[in-house]
A and B are shown apart, each in its own frame.
Chain A
Amino acid sequence: MAMTLQCDIVSAEAQIYTGLVELLVATGIEGELGVCYGHAALLTRLIPGPIRIVEPTGEEQVYYASGGFLEVQGDVVTVLADTAVRADDIDEAAAETARQNAEEALANQQGEIDYGRASAQLAEATAQLSALRKLKNRAGRG
C-alpha cells in the first residue's frame, strides 16, 4: 500500500482541496519543504508561492497560496491559506480605518440620526399630502 496522508487545503472563503496525497510541496518561510507520510508534527508559516501535491495515482496538482500556515499532525497535513493579501502595515492601516469610522460615527452621531428621523418624517408627510391630493381630486370630480 502506498504511504499516503490526508491533505486538506482550505481558506476562509473556500475549501480548495481535500483528499489523500503521497507528497505535498509548499513554500515555507524558511524555504521549500516536502511532506510525506510519517513527517514529524510541524507548524510553519507559508509565504506566497505554489503548493504542489502528488496524488496516489501519480497525478500532480498545483495550487497557489498567498501565504498562510501548514500543519502536520499525525498523518494529516493541513494548509490554512490566506485569502487576503497580508502585511503588517496593511493590517495596521485597516485597523486605523476601523477606528476612524468609529470616531466619525461618534462625531456625526447627531447628524446621522436626525437625517434618518427627518427622512422618515418627510416620507410620512409626502404620503399624507399625496393621499390628501387624491381625496381632493375625487371630491372635486364627485
Chain B
Amino acid sequence: MAAGKEIRTKITSIQSTQKITSAMEMVAASKMRRAQDRMEVGKPYAQRMRAVVGHIANSTPEYRHAYMQEREVKRAGYIIVSTDRGLCGGLNINLFKSAIASMKALQDLGVDIELCLVGAKAGGFFASVGGNVTATVKYLGEEPSLGDLIGGVKSMLDAYTEGRIDALYLAGNEFVNTMTQSPAVEQLLPLKAEQSESMSHHWDYLYEPDARELLDALMVRYIESLVYQAVVENGACEQAARMIAMKNATDNAGELIEDLQLVYNKARQAAITQELAEIVGGAAAIG
C-alpha cells in the first residue's frame, strides 16, 4: 500500500492548492469590480480632455504645439503598462509580445527604442530581454494615483521635447469584458487629431495666460490622463485575468483530484483482492 499512501499525500496537497486558488479567484472577483468602477469613474475626464484637445487641434491657433507637429522618426519611446504581480494568465506576456512586435516593425526601419516601464512585471521582463529603459514606475498598488505616474510620463515627454525621441507610443491591455482582455499599442505623440466638419471654420480660443504656456501645461495633462486611464484599465484587466486563471486552476485541480482518487481506489481494491486471494490460497494449501 506504499503507492496508496503517496497518492493520498498528493491528493491532500492538491486539495490545499485548490483551496488557495479558489480563494484567490474570489478575491480577484471582488477586486475586479472595484477596479472596473475606478475605470468608469476616470472616463469622463479622459473624454473631456480628448474633446478639448480635439477642439484645439481643429482651431486656428497662433501657436502650434510641438506635440502636434509630425517630424521624421529616428527614435521612438514606448510606455509599457504592466501589472505588479503575476498569476494572471497570459496577460503580461501577450502585451509584451504585441509591444515587441510593434517595436520590431520600427526597428526594421532603423528606429531606436526607448522604454518607460510601469509595473514590476515589465521591469523584470525587459531586464532579461534587454532594452533601453529610461524610467520605471513600480508598485502602484490597487488604487493607482495620478501623482505616482507624473514622474515616468514627464521623463518621456521631456525626451520628446528635447528631441531625443520623435514619437511616443503607449502599450497596455484593453478591457473588453471579463473574459477578454486585448493588448493594444496606440500612438500618443505626435497627436493625431480627428478632423471635424463643424469645427473647421476659422476660430480660436481666448487664452489666459498666453497660448504657449497654457497649451504646454494642457498637453502634459492630456498625455498623463491617457496614461493614467491605461493604468487603471490594466488594473481591471489584471483582476479579470487573475480571476479566470484561478478559476481554471481550481477546475484543473478538481479534475486532477478526481483522477487521482480513481487511481487510489483502484490500487486499494487491487490490494484487497490480492490479500483475499493470498488468504484463500493459504487456507487451501493448509487444508
Contacts A80-B221, A113-B128 given; does A8 touch B205 at CB 8 Å = no
The contact size tier of chain A is 35 or more
A95 to B205, CA, bound (A): 31
Main secondary structure of the interface of A (DSSP, over half): mixed
Between A and B, 6 residue pairs with Cβ closer than 8 Å are A14-B41, A14-B42, A42-B205, A42-B206, A95-B154, A102-B136
Q: Which of chain B's residues 197-219 have a Cβ closer than 8 Å to chain A?
A: 203-209, 213-214, 217-218
Question: Is B247 in the interface zone, CB < 8 Å from A?
Answer: no
A84 to B204, CA, bound (A): 29
Q: How many residues in B have their beta carbons less than 8 Å from beta carbons of A?
A: 55
A83 to B148, CA, bound (A): 11
Select one of B59, B133, B151, B206 contacting A96, CB under 8 A. Answer: B151
Contacts of A52 in B (CB 8 A): none
Question: Which residue of chain B has its CB nearest to the CB of A28?
Answer: B208
A40 to B229, CA, bound (A): 31
The answer to whether A10 touches B44 (Cβ under 8 A) is yes
The answer to whether B214 touches A45 (Cβ under 8 A) is yes
Question: Is A128 in the interface zone, CB < 8 Å from B?
Answer: no
The answer to whether A97 touches B151 (Cβ under 8 A) is yes
Question: Which residue of chain A has its CB nearest to the CB of B123?
Answer: A105
Contacts of A113 in B (CB 8 A): 124, 127-128
Contacts A11-B45, A42-B206, A43-B205 given; does A84 touch B124 at CB 8 Å = no
Select one of B5, B52, B138, B145 contacting A13, CB under 8 A. Answer: B145
